[in-house]
Amino acid sequence: MGNYILEELSAKTIVAANSLTLKPGQEQFVAPTSYALAESYFNPSTEWPRVVLENDTVVGFIRGHFDPESDQPEFKSCIWRIVVAADAQGKGVGRFAVEALAGEAKSRGFATLTVLWESGSKGPGDFFHKLGFVDIGTSRFGEIIGELKL
Ligand SMILES: CC(C)(COP(=O)(O)OP(=O)(O)OC[C@H]1O[C@@H](n2cnc3c(N)ncnc32)[C@H](O)[C@@H]1OP(=O)(O)O)[C@@H](O)C(=O)NCCC(=O)NCCS
């Protein structure tokens, strides 16, 4: 695993975070429908956006979402988005980012961290399972709901 640093998303890193290049076929998994639809209702105070830096280069982005009042349990403490640059994948960046978010969720008093993903051979399902997420159901759009106990 490399030497990774987590930093709050800022004016300095936002362009790099938004233009991380993925591997062919991965783009379709980045924003499952449930997230895309819910997005516009958010209050910025519920968001926890962070970049992962390696030698001052943005190699990953994770956005946590914390809304204890949400009427959708899978949106109370969840990973809203996670992207790792194609050439940095498979080196522990994703694990580093998820573990940092899990720590943040725990410190806010949540007992679980959830994530939704679309199934598919190039999708992130095996990654989340490797990190300990367990399938607990499906969303109304058929996405898998994974839960990690903290
Ligand atoms: C999913 C994603 C974030 C994983 O990031 P990553 O930095 O490559 O993952 P890591 O290197 O930290 O992998 C952690 C573990 O998961 C495993 N893993 C990662 N991707 C995997 C895959 N597709 N299949 C099987 N195992 C996988 C790794 O082998 C590693 O196991 P280890 O700790 O035993 O060595 C990255 O592939 C990505 O950005 N995908 C496109 C965007 C996406 O699908 N986001 C999710 C939206 S819900």
Q: Supply the pTM of this predicted model.
A: 0.93
Find out whether the beta carbon of 109 lies less than 6 Å from any atom of ligand 1.
no
Q: Decide: 117 and 104 in contact? Cβ < 8 Å.
A: no
Tell how far the Cα of 90 is from the centroid of ligand 1, in angstroms.
Answer: 6
Find out whether the beta carbon of 106 lies less than 6 Å from any atom of ligand 1.
no
Find out whether the beta carbon of 132 lies less than 6 Å from any atom of ligand 1.
no
Residue 117 exposure: Cα atoms within 13 Å on the Cβ side: 26
Tell how far the Cα of 88 is from the centroid of ligand 1, in angstroms.
Answer: 10
Question: Would you write out the chain's pLDDT as a tens digit for each of its 150 residues?
Answer: 789 999 999 989 988 998 899 999 998 898 888 887 777 666 778 899 999 999 999 999 999 999 999 999 999 999 999 999 999 999 999 999 999 999 999 999 999 999 999 999 999 999 999 999 999 999 999 999 999 999
Q: Decide: 48 and 104 in contact? Cβ < 8 Å.
A: yes
User: CA-to-CA distance for 136 and 38, rounded, in angstroms?
Assistant: 20
User: CA-to-CA distance for 150 and 110, rounded, in angstroms?
Assistant: 8
Tell how far the Cα of 115 is from the centroid of ligand 1, in angstroms.
Answer: 14
What the chain holds in terms of domains, given with CATH numbers, is 4-106 (3.40.630.30)
